[in-house]
Amino acid sequence: MERLNIITAASQLLQNASCLPPQLFDENNRLHPFVKDHLLLIYKTLQQRFVSFFPCAEIRDAVLAGSMCSYIYNDKSDLDLFIFADNIIPDDPRLTQHLTVSINKFLATVYWRPFVYGHPVDFGLLSTQNVRYNKRNHYSLLTDSWSNQPVRQKFAFTAEELADKYETYYQNVKKYMDALEKDAKGFLTPENCNRAQNYLQGMISEAFDSKEYFKEHEYCEAYNLWRLFKHSGAYTAFQNYISRSFRNADLIRQQEEANRHE
9-64 residue pLDDT tens: 999 999 999 999 999 999 999 999 999 999 999 999 889 888 888 888 899 999 99
Q: Report the SS3 class of residue 59.
A: strand
97-124 residue pLDDT tens: 777 777 776 666 666 778 888 888 888 8
Residue 159: which pLDDT band, with cuts at 50, 70 and 90?
very high
pLDDT reported for residue 109: 63
Q: Kindly list the distances between the CA atom of residue 58 and the CA atoms of 51, 98, 159, in Å, as whole numbers in the listed order.
A: 9, 18, 43
Average pLDDT for 80-98: 84
pLDDT reported for residue 123: 86
Q: Decide which of 126 and 21 is more confident.
A: 21
CB 197 within 8 A of CB 242: yes
Which DSSP symbol is given to 158? -
Bridge partner residues of 74 (DSSP): none
Helix-helix angle 159-179:3-13, to 10 degrees: 120
Residue 192: which pLDDT band, with cuts at 50, 70 and 90?
very high
Mean pLDDT rounded to a whole number for the chain: 89
CB 77 within 8 A of CB 102: no
pLDDT reported for residue 141: 95
115-116 and 138-140 beta bridge pairing: unpaired
First to last CA, the chain: 49
Residue 91: which pLDDT band, with cuts at 50, 70 and 90?
confident
Average pLDDT for 137-165: 94
pLDDT reported for residue 238: 96
Compute the distance between CA of residue 211 and CA of residue 217 in angstroms, rounded to an integer. 4
Helix (H) / strand (E) element for 49: namely: helix 33-53
Which DSSP symbol is given to 66? S
pLDDT reported for residue 92: 81
DSSP 200-226: HHHHHHHHHHHHHHSTTGGGSHHHHHH
Quick check: 74 pLDDT over 70? yes
